[in-house]
């Protein structure tokens, strides 16, 4: 089985590898895929769309059995601007499967910059005085004091995707 991840970001690729660690017969490849949404998605809906587009395109471009799209964004709520993350798993002939990641509110000073049109990646680097936060611990890692990094958060999303896929396949086999 070939699994294509629609990103070159190591935080995302490692999350997919971790989720499939007990399944050595899954070959994981990474390939650039377009999200088709803005670089900084501003809602759950836009973030999901980005994840689904990436998953479908990754499978097509890499000629893989399964395409995975992982996308980060933010969603406005009465409790502040929330960090949101979504994943999608695409298999030809099946509705894409989606799953959401853990969410935390962003501090006011970060939220303000995003609402003015800035992207979270560079804003986080400036805030943390680090380089490539998005490829390492991520905003979630910084604001949880390292308890959950971006890759761990996406590993959880991946397990939610793979588990739903297995469940749906099991249901289908029962009906045949
Ligand atoms: O190369 P790709 O796969 O595009 O990876 P990315 O890091 O740009 O990730 P996304 O496109 O999924 O994320 C959308 C935007 O949010 C930023 N972002 C999302 N989550 C983040 C996090 O935890 N830490 C820092 N930046 C984050 C990211 O840099 C983008 O500007
Ligand atoms: Mg991006």
Cα 111 from Cα 104, distance rounded (Å): 12
Domain count, the chain: 1
pLDDT-derived band at 158, boundaries 50, 70, 90: very high
What is the whole-number distance in angstroms between the Cα of residue 12 and the centre of ligand 1? 10
Position 17 pLDDT exceeds 90: yes
Percent of the chain with pLDDT over 90: 89
Ligand lying closest to the C-alpha of residue 154: 1
Q: Say how many Å lie between the CA of residue 85 and the centre of ligand 2.
A: 12
71 CB within 6 A, ligand 1: yes
| ipTM for the whole complex | 0.92
- 149 C-alpha to ligand 2 centroid (Å): 17
Look up the domain containing 66 and give its range. 2-175
**Greater model confidence, 92 or 143:** 143
The average pLDDT across 151-171 equals 93
Cα of 39 from ligand 2 centre, angstroms? 5
What is the value of pTM for the model shown? 0.95
- Residues 168, 155: Cα–Cα separation, whole Å: 20
User: How large is the average pLDDT for residues 24-41?
Assistant: 94
Q: Does the annotation place 126 within a ligand binding site? A: no
pLDDT at 138: 96
CATH of the domain at 67: 3.90.950.10
Is the C-beta atom of 53 inside 6 A of ligand 1? no
Q: Does residue 124 line the site of ligand 1, with CB under 6 A?
A: yes
Confidence class of residue 147 from pLDDT cuts 50, 70 and 90?
A: very high
Q: Where are any strands of DSSP class E within the chain?
A: 2-5, 27-30, 66-77, 80-90, 97-100, 104-105
64 a known binding residue? Answer: yes
Ligand closest in space to the Cα of 31:
1
Nearest CA to ligand 1 atom 14: 72
For residue 176, is pLDDT > 80? no
74-133 pLDDT per residue, tens: 999 999 999 999 999 999 989 999 999 999 999 999 999 999 999 999 999 999 999 999
Which atom of ligand 1 is nearest to 124's Cα?
25
Gap between the Cα atoms of 107 and 127, Å rounded = 11
| 138 Cβ below 6 A of ligand 1 | yes
Is 95 flagged in the annotation as binding?
no
């Amino acid at each position: 089985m070939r699994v294509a991840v629609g990103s070159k970001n190591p935080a995302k690729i490692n999350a997919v590898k971790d989720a499939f660690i007990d399944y050595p017969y899954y070959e994981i490849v990474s390939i650039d895929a377009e999200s088709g949404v803005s670089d900084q998605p501003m809602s759950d809906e836009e973030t999901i769309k980005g994840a689904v587009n990436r998953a479908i395109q990754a499978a097509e471009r890499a000629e893989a059995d399964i395409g995975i799209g992982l996308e980060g964004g933010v969603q406005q709520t009465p409790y502040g601007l929330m960090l949101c993350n979504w994943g999608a798993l695409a298999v030809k002939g099946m509705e894409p499967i989606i799953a959401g990641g853990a969410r935390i509110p962003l501090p006011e000073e970060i939220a303000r910059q995003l609402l003015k049109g800035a992207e979270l990646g560079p804003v986080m680097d400036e805030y943390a005085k680090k380089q490539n936060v998005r490829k390492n611990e991520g905003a979630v890692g910084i604001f949880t004091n390292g308890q959950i990094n971006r890759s761990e958060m996406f590993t959880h999303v991946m397990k939610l995707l793979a588990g739903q896929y297995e469940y749906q396949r099991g249901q289908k086999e029962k009906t045949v």
